[in-house]
Amino acid sequence: MEYAPYSMDDKEAARDTLPDPLLKKDGSYVTTPFEWHNFQRSYILDMLKKYEYGEILPRPDEMSFQLLNCRQGALGGKAVRKEVRITCSMLDGRSHSFKILIYLPANASGPVPAFLGLNFKGNQNTTVEKDVIPTGYRFPGVLVDEGSGVQHHRWIPEEIVARNYATVTCCYHDIFPDRADGIGDSVAKLFFTPAEYGKFGEKYSVIGAWAWGLSRIMDYLELDPDIDSSRVAVHGHSRLGKTSLWAGAVDTRYKMVISNDSGCGGGALHKRKFGENLSQHFQHHINMGYPSWFVNEAERFIYKEEELPIDQHELLAMIAPRPLAVGTATEDRAADPKGEFLACKAASQVYKLYGSCGLTVDEMPGPDIHCAGDISFHYRTGKHDHTPQDWGYYLDLADKYL
């Protein structure tokens, strides 16, 4: 089979009808938030599990938290920095731990709302501070990047604390290393024996494991007196934007969900058949040394997206009625920004059940217009990245919603 993306000509995009999230199994329609919340939502969530993201891994038998470091006067006096080790263990002695980095505003007078997201290159690369504990092991014992500060622009912790929010992060490799044979060094080892690793993808996904890690960090945040855990926004960029959406779907403790440039398997509609498709997530990724990020079942729909019983607007609808922000970029064409816009539009009908309009506009906006609302959308000028401009929009939303 050839693994190629779809055309990026909008005229060639498919015009398939999308499954209606309000259509019930018996052919009638959901008309109340009660029915959505108590019945329909879990019916769709089960399909999202089955066809894309898998079951939710259980909680570990035990968890412990160790404060490794607490530094006043961080970020030139603007912040307090904490680094915490989270250990998840099973009664039979298996355990897995990962370290999180937290910046708090220096002069907070009480618990603060927080942004929580996974990073690609280790906690040390989200900041300019050089003495952060290095994390991020794609391969055992080998840091993915020693600390060039290369992804600081994606995190700008000094700006976030200046707006009176905490920022919390952990490297995704430390939850599930993003390599083809990463499972033995991942959280999955708590629940699977080596002989069972090959079966992981039958029921679970790597994206699901990353989302599980976010939930465990949330467990910690609920106990941290410096954080107001009822006001946490989960966010992520690209594959980690796919992850933040799934995290927001399965864990309703997040008050707001942000997906930045998440594309295929994130905010973009599969059935539009535009740009990247599921083929890239299977053979192509595996050839590049990545695991497939979805359940095995998803592979069945490569080039047959019209047969998928669900689509990504239904993932977005899982966030309702909580605020959802979807950011896209003009040069990130393969991720199909318009497909993300259309998904937001189609998810809005679920927000409408709650008396919200969801998305506030009907037509895809031009670049750099922030369509702020219960579902927010923007189309930033520039490449596939999470920039300070994106942060500006997300921080404004947090001011309103957190």
Among residues 83 and 276, whose Cβ is nearest to ligand GCU?
Answer: 276
Min separation Cβ 140 and ligand GCU, Å = 22
Size of the site for ligand GCU (CB under 6 A): 6
Min separation Cβ 317 and ligand GCU, Å = 21
Q: Enumerate the β-bridge partners of residue 235.
A: 117, 258
Among residues 161 and 334, whose Cβ is nearest to ligand GCU?
Answer: 334
The long-range contacts involving 370-376, CB below 8 angstroms and separated by at least 24 positions, are 370/396, 372/396, 372/397, 372/400, 374/321, 374/323, 374/324, 375/316, 375/323, 375/324, 375/325, 375/326, 375/344, 375/347, 375/348, 375/351, 376/323, 376/324, 376/325, 376/326
Rounded CA-CA distance 245/258 in Å is: 7
Terminal C-alpha separation, the chain: 47
- Contacts (CB under 6 A) with ligand GCU, residues 213-272: 238-239, 263-264
Min separation Cβ 261 and ligand GCU, Å = 7
- Contacts (CB under 6 A) with ligand GCU, residues 269-308: 276, 280
Min separation Cβ 335 and ligand GCU, Å = 6
Matching residue, tokens 């440039």: 261
Q: Is 312 in the site for ligand GCU (CB under 6 A)?
A: no
Among residues 263 and 323, whose Cβ is nearest to ligand GCU?
Answer: 263
Min separation Cβ 390 and ligand GCU, Å = 15
Min separation Cβ 239 and ligand GCU, Å = 3
Min separation Cβ 284 and ligand GCU, Å = 8
Contacts of 357 (CB under 8 A, 6+ apart): 348, 351, 373, 374
Count of C-beta atoms within a 10 Å radius of residue 70:
14
Q: Is 311 in the site for ligand GCU (CB under 6 A)?
A: no
Give the single-character DSSP code of 119.
E
* Catalytic residue set: 238, 384
Q: Is the dihedral of CA 389, 394, 399, 400 positive or negative?
A: positive
For 325, the enclosing helix (H) or strand (E) is: strand 324-329
Backbone angles phi, psi at 206, to 5 degrees: -70, -40
Q: Is 326 helix (H, G, I), strand (E, B) or coil?
A: strand
Structure tokens at 117: 């997201």
Strand ranges in 18-119 using DSSP code E only, listed in sequence order: 62-73, 79-89, 95-105, 112-119
Among residues 239 and 378, whose Cβ is nearest to ligand GCU?
Answer: 239
Rounded CA-CA distance 207/178 in Å is: 10
Among residues 7 and 42, whose Cβ is nearest to ligand GCU?
Answer: 7
Among residues 201 and 263, whose Cβ is nearest to ligand GCU?
Answer: 263
Rounded CA-CA distance 353/247 in Å is: 22
Among residues 98 and 172, whose Cβ is nearest to ligand GCU?
Answer: 172
Rounded CA-CA distance 335/267 in Å is: 9
The contact set with ligand GCU (CB under 6 A) reads 238-239, 263-264, 276, 280
